[in-house]
Amino acid sequence: MAVRTMIDSIRETLADEMRRDETIIVLGEDVGKKGGVFLATDGLYDEFGGDRVIDTPLTESMIIGASIGAAINGLRPVPEIQFADFIMPAFNQIVSEAARMRYRSNGAFSCPITIRAPYGGGVHGALYHSQSVEAFFSHVPGLKVVIPSTPHDARGLLRSSIRDEDPVLFFEHKKMYRSVRGDVPDSDYVVPLGSAKVTREGSQVTLVGYGLMAQYSLEAADILDSDGIRAEVVDVRCLRPLDTATILESVRKTGKCVVVYEDNRFGGYGAEIAAILAEEAFDYLDGPVVRVTGPDVPGVPYNHVLEDWFMPDPERIATAARRLAGY
């Protein structure tokens, strides 16, 4: 057991998995000698060489297209998209090819690729280095979508993703890379895909989030505790497949729910959670399902004051939960 940052946990897991399985390759822009823009692949080129840690041109469609071809020919690629904002040129390859490979081949081919991409705001990255894109891909059958919120889960979920036989999008909140630390066991453990986790027990309101918003929800629960409001926090961890049972169990206990996501409010991923609660937990609700989200504007502003206005934070979450608790 050792204390790790998110980025350390991801880097060490990639190295461990590459030692375990020689079919695993890493490819992407600057992932080789440079070690990636966030140093997530630092040291991999020196240990595994250029045949397994491959620098590519700045062409996201090619990165994913080549990964799909490698996957159906026996390799297990882990492509990196340098920023989730730049994943759109590869959208057709991911959604029309990788996601449908098993279905279109009647099970003859699988597509075991794990697409890593940093996402999210709060780092002064402005429009093109701050986007949250998880809702687009969570919509698509055939894709798994994973977002860890702790170094422990990053390690266990990344292992499960790489070992999965179907395509996984593994989004990492860039603000958490070095700001979040936690205990990570040395053992070869996995966190199953499709499992949410109750990270704090409570009785009066449920806070549901993922990634940075799961961390902020825990901070909001601390704020609420000083007001005598006991909040339960559910970390979604895996957006597709979604562990609806854990969320429903929590909301049926508390009767109230605040869903938190950083993306634009309209059509964001948390709206699906709200719809599930309306359909399957209506008789248990003591108030409306409340969302705390980013605003419906085209991008995260560069101006620091406006960026803070865009980003949900613990106090904003606590304010919404406080109002809901008194409903």
Q: How far apart are CA 164 and CA 291, in angstroms?
A: 32
Helix/strand/coil for 240 = strand
Q: Which residues contact 120 (CB under 8 A, 6 or more apart)?
A: 84, 130, 131, 132, 173, 174, 175, 211, 212, 262
Spatial separation of the C-alpha atoms in residues 147 and 322, rounded to whole Å: 27
Supply the residues annotated as catalytic. Answer: 129
Instruction: Report the side by side order of strands in the sheet with 231-235.
Output: 197-200, 231-235, 205-209, 257-264, 290-294
* 195 in Cβ contact with 237 (< 8 Å): yes
**Two tokens, residue 41:** 């692949």
Residues, the chain: 327
Backbone angles phi, psi at 85, to 5 degrees: -55, -30
Contact present, 158 and 78 (Cβ < 8 Å): no
Contacts of residue 104, Cβ cutoff 8 Å, sequence gap at least 6: none
Instruction: Look at the block and give the residue holding tokens 């894109």.
Output: 133
